[in-house]
Amino acid sequence: MIGNIRIKLSDLVLSFSKALDFVNPKVANHHLRVAVIASEIAKESGLSRQDINDIFLASAIHDIGAFSEHERINALEFEIKNPHLHAERGYLLIKDFDMYPAISKLIRYHHIPWKGGEGCRFDGEEIPVGGHIIHLADRVEVLIDKQQEILSQKKKVVDAIKSRSNNIFVPDLVEVFENLSAKESFWFDAVSPEIDQIISDRNVLPDAELNMNELINIAKIFSHIIDYRSPFTTVHSAGVSAVATLLAQMIGFSEIECKMMSVAGYLHDIGKLAVPSEILEKPARLSDEEFNIMKSHVYHSYRILEAVSGLDIINTWASFHHERMDGKGYPFHIKGGELPIGSRIIAVADVFTAITEDRPYRKGMSGEDALKIIEDMAKNNGLDKSIVDVAIAYFRHLNDVRLDAQLKAGEEYVAVKQFVG
């Protein structure tokens, strides 16, 4: 029996923030550097600890609505074309996260120009100062050339920001930034490889712990980031989570274990953030080299989730879903006897869900064909036969649950689809 697990929101945000930047080496640690800069500006501006925490958290995931590699690279340009698309998507993704309601608005308005004071409101709503702080910090970060010595860039960056004061940026915040820029330590922090230590020293992350329902909600949010990268996988993780949770119930898992299974299902493909979109969406068989890159996604899933204290069991369930009972899976080649039963459940749920979905290279299979695939995989020691037997016996019920979960996920996708550029 597994007791309740304890997950710190700060650990999860830091890990997921880094995962968002896996899409391309050019954006490595972009979110966290913006968070460090923004929190320093917020502190120097005399904001409350709560406001500083909110600004840090929002900064750490501010581009959460930029799904594609192209969008993320485009966001590094100082003058972004139509930045409000990804800002609005980010807002829609997390607006229902009850723990920190202020964060979604900070993300929604992190590209609003000041325009001599007009930017204090947008569409009749007051813009929180944190949104303008994140905007300023974000643009400071993209102006920095990470390949060049930092102090020699100071004047160029400061001048670029000052020249846009009162038009793009809030004058008072520009003045705060200019004062901070006099400190060499500000610039060294902005590019330091020791970003985790800087964040820890500043104590700008809340110590809040998540209960299981909150953890499920955050996992669900990140499943959207993973799945929305391709129109063929927009509801995949929702299906895997629902099927895996029901299989776990049927096999006798406890209530808390079933909730953990739900989280594992939502996060099982988080490592795909490191896989280029052209591979995810290729309408033909992958080359050997492309398949090797695809294989890496479960390794990245493992390393991303490994950084979150308390997520150990969920991590093994989620990240071992391409291991096989005969030890010929990947990336760790764990054999059946050593493979946790939770991992075996996710593996069956993943295959069950994937083969019934349309993909760029094939149409989804019918129930009878899908059953034959998982049955053959069990016979060939790919999947756990005992779990496959349960899936076959209750195929119709499992499929109904999958369809219902994916229908609801599809409705959520429709809400952001209009903002997909």
Greater model confidence, 72 or 309 = 309
pLDDT of residue 385: 96
pLDDT of residue 49: 92
Greater model confidence, 161 or 371 = 161
Average pLDDT, integer, range 296-316: 95
pLDDT at residue 338 tops 80:
yes
pLDDT of residue 1: 46
pLDDT above 70 covers a percentage of the chain that reads: 96
Average pLDDT, integer, range 175-189: 97
The pLDDT tens digits for 193-251 are: 999 899 988 888 777 888 899 999 999 999 998 888 877 788 999 999 999 999 999 99
Q: What number does CATH give the domain 211-417?
A: 1.10.3210.10
Ordered DSSP codes for 225-291? HHHTTSTTSTTHHHHHHHHHHHHHHHHT--HHHHHHHHHHHHHTTGGGGGS-HHHHT-SSPPPHHHH
Q: Which of 62-76, 166-180, 303-317, 350-364 has the lowest mean pLDDT?
A: 350-364
pLDDT above 90 covers a percentage of the chain that reads: 65
8 A C-beta contact, residue 243 and residue 349: yes
Residue 420: pLDDT band with limits 50, 70, 90: low
Average per-residue pLDDT for the chain: 90
CATH 1.10.3210.10 holds for 7-202: yes
Place of tokens 């958290």: 57
Token pair of 17 as six digits: 């923030």
The pLDDT tens digits for 48-98 are: 999 999 999 999 999 998 877 777 787 777 777 778 888 999 999 888 877
pLDDT of residue 2: 60
d(CA 5, CA 257): 10
Amino acid at 51: D
- Cβ within 8 Å of residue 41, ≥6 positions away: 133, 136, 137, 173, 176, 177, 180
d(CA 108, CA 89): 8
8 A C-beta contact, residue 7 and residue 170: no
Ordered DSSP codes for 133-177? HHHHHHHHHHHS-TTS-SGGGHHHHHHHHHTTBTTTB-HHHHHHH
pLDDT of residue 96: 81
Q: Which of 27-41, 149-163, 340-354, 365-379 has the lowest mean pLDDT?
A: 365-379
Average pLDDT, integer, range 329-348: 95
Paired strand residues for 8: 209
d(CA 267, CA 339): 18
Dihedral, CA of residue 214, residue 216, residue 217 and residue 218, to nearest 10: 90
Q: Which of 342-356, 386-400, 405-419 has the lowest mean pLDDT?
A: 405-419
pTM of the model: 0.91
Average pLDDT, integer, range 264-290: 90
Q: What per-residue string of b and e applies to 308-340 under the rule 16 or more CB within 10 Å gives b?
A: bebbebbbbbbbbbbbbbeeebbbbebebeebe
pLDDT at residue 191 tops 90:
yes
Spans of all domains in the chain: 7-202, 211-417
d(CA 357, CA 239): 10
- Cβ within 8 Å of residue 113, ≥6 positions away: 119, 167, 168, 169
8 A C-beta contact, residue 196 and residue 15: no
d(CA 335, CA 323): 8
pLDDT of residue 70: 79
CATH topology agreement for domains 7-202 and 211-417: yes
Q: Which of 203-207, 256-260, 261-265 has the lowest mean pLDDT?
A: 203-207
Paired strand residues for 359: 362
pLDDT of residue 81: 74
Q: CA separation (Å) from 54 to 20, 39, 47, 130, 288?
A: 19, 9, 11, 8, 45
pLDDT at residue 3 tops 60:
no
Start-end of H helices in 69-153 = 69-74, 84-94, 101-108, 129-143
pLDDT at residue 361 tops 80:
no
